[in-house]
Copies of this chain bind each other. A is one copy, B any other.
Amino acid sequence: MTIRSQGVRLLARKISRRGGSIVTIHDVAQHVGVSPMTVSRVINAEKNVREETRKKVLEAIKVLNYSPNMAARSLASQDSTRVALIYSNPSMSFLSEFLLGILQQSSQSGCQLLIESCEGPEGVADVLDKLRTVGVDGVILPPPLSDSTRVAKALKDMKLPFVGVATSRPLPDVSSVSIDDFKAAFAMTSRLVALGHKRIGFIKGHPNSFYSELRYNGYVEALTKAGIKVDQACVGQGYFTYRSGFDAAESLLSRPDRPTAVFASNDDMAAGAVATAHRLGLEVPDDVTIVGFDDTSMASSVWPELTTVRQPISDMAALGLKMLLEQIKSKRQGQALKPVHEIRDFAIIERQSSSAPVPDAEVGRK
C-alpha cells in the first residue's frame, strides 16, 4: 500500500522535526476513516458534509492536535494573498497595538503582509506605485490614512479592495471598522457631568479631521443634554499634538473662571494639558480633571495616568484584516464588493487624572 509506506516515511521525519507536531490532514482522515478531502471540507467549513461526519472529524482534529499547514494551504489554493498596510505618521503606540492585531490575524489566515510607511502626499503616490509593481491584493489603512479621500480614490482607481480602521467618516462605498466617536465623546462628557463638573473645557483635534469634529459634537451634545451651555471660551483648538494641547490648555486654564475639567480629544493633547496644569501650579485631578481619548501608551505612561476613551485597536485591526480578506476572496470570485461598516464598542478607562471637582475652599487649603 503506497499510502501506508509513505506514512512510515513521514513518521521518520516527524520525529526529527518540531516535536512531533506534524500531523497532516491524512492522519486525521485515517483516524476517522474518511478521505483527506472530507477533512479538508470540514476545516474550510464547506457544506455538503454530513453533520455526523463533520463531528467525527472535528473530534479527531482535537485528539490529534492537528493544525493546518498554512504554507501548504495557501500554495494549494493559489491564495497567497498579499495585503499592504500603509501608515503615515500615526501615534506610534497606536501603531503598535494595531500591528499586534494585524499580526495575530495574518498569521492565522496565512496572508503575506507588506508594511509601508509614507510621508506626505507624494509619499502616497510613491507607495501606491510600489504596490502596483509588487502586486498586492488589498490594503488596510490605519488612521489618519483611513480618513483620506485622496487615498480612497486612488485605491478605488486601482480597483484594490481596502478597509479603513478607526475611520470617523465611513465613506459610503468603503468598508471600515471603527467606534462611534460621537457616542464615545458624548459618554465621556456625560461622565464628567455626572462627576459634578459644570465648567468643562474641550480641546479640539486637527480641523481637517472629521473625527475631531465628531468628538466635538459629542461633547456639545452631552453638555446640551445636561442643560449646560457651551461656552466657546472653554473650547480650545488643538492639532492632536502634545504641544498643541499644551498651548490650548494654557488659554483655558489661565482664565479666572477656568474649567474644572478639560476633555482633550486625544491623549497626546491631554498629556500636554496636564503639563500646562502643572506649570500653572494646578494639581491634577484635585484642581482640574483632565481626560483624553484613545488610550494610547501615552495615557498610561504620564503621571497622573489619564482617564481616557479606549478603542479596542488590536481587535479592530484584526477584524479589519479579516474583512479585507473576505472582500478579496469575493472579488476573486467575481462578486461585487459590498462595503461593510463595523462598529466596535469603546470603553471609558478611569485612571488618576479625573475626579469630582473639589470645592474652592478645600483647594485653597493646600
CB neighbours of A133 from chain B (8 A): 65
Contact across chains for B112 and A301 when beta carbons are under 8 A apart? no
From known contacts A70-B80, A75-B75, A78-B17, infer whether A93 and B246 are also in contact, taking CB-CB under 8 Å.
no
Contact of A82 among B18, B97, B242 (CB under 8 A): B18
Of A107, A114, A272, most buried by chain B (CB within 10 Å of CB) is A107
CB neighbours of A80 from chain B (8 A): 69-71
Shortest A265–chain B CB gap in Å is 15
Contact across chains for A115 and B135 when beta carbons are under 8 A apart? no
Inter-chain CA distance A21–B114, complex, in Å, is: 15
Contact across chains for A92 and B297 when beta carbons are under 8 A apart? yes
Contact across chains for B69 and A72 when beta carbons are under 8 A apart? no
From known contacts A91-B301, A97-B92, A100-B99, infer whether A71 and B65 are also in contact, taking CB-CB under 8 Å.
no
From known contacts A80-B69, A275-B278, infer whether A103 and B92 are also in contact, taking CB-CB under 8 Å.
no
Cβ contacts A34-47/B at 8 Å (1 or 0 each): 00000000000000
The residue in chain B whose Cβ has the minimal distance to the Cβ of A13 is B78
CB neighbours of A296 from chain B (8 A): 92
The residue in chain B whose Cβ has the minimal distance to the Cβ of A100 is B115
Cβ contacts A267-283/B at 8 Å (1 or 0 each): 01001101100110100
Question: Does A141 make an interface contact (CB < 8 A)?
Answer: no
Q: In the assembly, how many copies of this chain are there? A: 2
Shortest A102–chain B CB gap in Å is 9
Question: Does A302 make an interface contact (CB < 8 A)?
Answer: yes
Cβ contacts A131-160/B at 8 Å (1 or 0 each): 001111100000000000000000000000
Shortest A353–chain B CB gap in Å is 13
Cβ contacts A72-111/B at 8 Å (1 or 0 each): 1111001010100000000111011101100110010010
From known contacts A19-B135, A93-B96, infer whether A303 and B75 are also in contact, taking CB-CB under 8 Å.
no
Which residues of A pack against B, CB within 8 Å? Answer: 13, 17-19, 21, 65, 67, 69-75, 78, 80, 82, 91-93, 95-97, 99-100, 103-104, 107, 110, 112-115, 133-137, 241-243, 246, 268, 271-272, 274-275, 278-279, 281, 296-298, 301-303, 332
5 new A-B contacts, CB < 8 A, other than A91-B297, A275-B302, are A92-B96, A103-B113, A275-B278, A279-B281, A298-B298
